[in-house]
Structure 1
């Protein structure tokens, strides 16, 4: 959609530009931490999930249209419907963990370290648990 058409749609009330409240942004952050995707999703991604949570609390049934697996993972954890556009989407919700490939020490997924405190090897990310996804919206 061109900028002019978008602006016209906003001015006519056809399109509404909304921002989530801080309460729902905190909730979205907690869902992203729960699955270990807090380092994978951007602030805008979190705002999108937060807005969907807020709209759901108002009685709407929001659907997030995205091919981003991290957003789908967080949306699935939050119980929000999502739809893939060009990919098949997630089949399992993944819970991520950071680990050291050398000494096998595990770190929380939102850990800011890049290197192992014990041996100095670069940390890697892997799924620690898989749960069948609720499924994408049809």
Structure 2
């Protein structure tokens, strides 16, 4: 089995299967501070065969495009996008407790497993709604173009 690790998998403190093929994008490595206990865990995982790899740019673009369609784009970091793209590239399962990563992975047909928390069981899409006039918007805005009211994100279950 191939696994792609998100930062949350390393920071969970839970055991990760070291006898499997494990991959991590460089963005995850930069999110873990040097010298701390999590960095030591990361170094142990590297010595057990953790492979650092960057996903191809075309897969990064594909994931970004899909995130834009579901509304997850404002919730995901570039590292999160890397994790999903790398999982597609190596045909692996993502290990993550990040619900936004899980949501987009699910909508793209990418396998994932939670580490310290249960996986999501519903898939969400995000839209934006004016608190004042209740108009629905597809794109995030600071204020409603119709009435100037505050716009908040709203979750839609698919």
**TM-score, shorter chain, exceeding 0.5:** yes
1:90 and 1:45 map into 2 onto residues whose CA distance is: 16
- TM-score for both structures, normalised by structure 1: 0.77
Instruction: Kindly report the root-mean-square deviation, in angstroms, between the aligned alpha carbons of the 2 structures.
Output: 2.1
1:8 and 1:84 map into 2 onto residues whose CA distance is: 21
- TM-score for both structures, normalised by structure 2: 0.68
1:96 counterpart = 2:96: no
1:105 and 1:92 map into 2 onto residues whose CA distance is: 25
The counterpart of 2:96, out of the listed 53, 61, 66, is 66
Residues 5/106 of structure 1: CA separation in 2 closer, same or farther (3 Å cut): closer
Q: Identify unmatched segments of 5+ residues in structure 2.
A: 1-36
1:30 counterpart = 2:65: yes
Residues 85/3 of structure 1: CA separation in 2 closer, same or farther (3 Å cut): closer
2:97 and 2:124 map into 1 onto residues whose CA distance is: 16
Q: Identify unmatched segments of 5+ residues in structure 1.
A: 57-61, 132-138
Residue pair 2:128, 2:140 contacting (<8 A) in 1 also: no
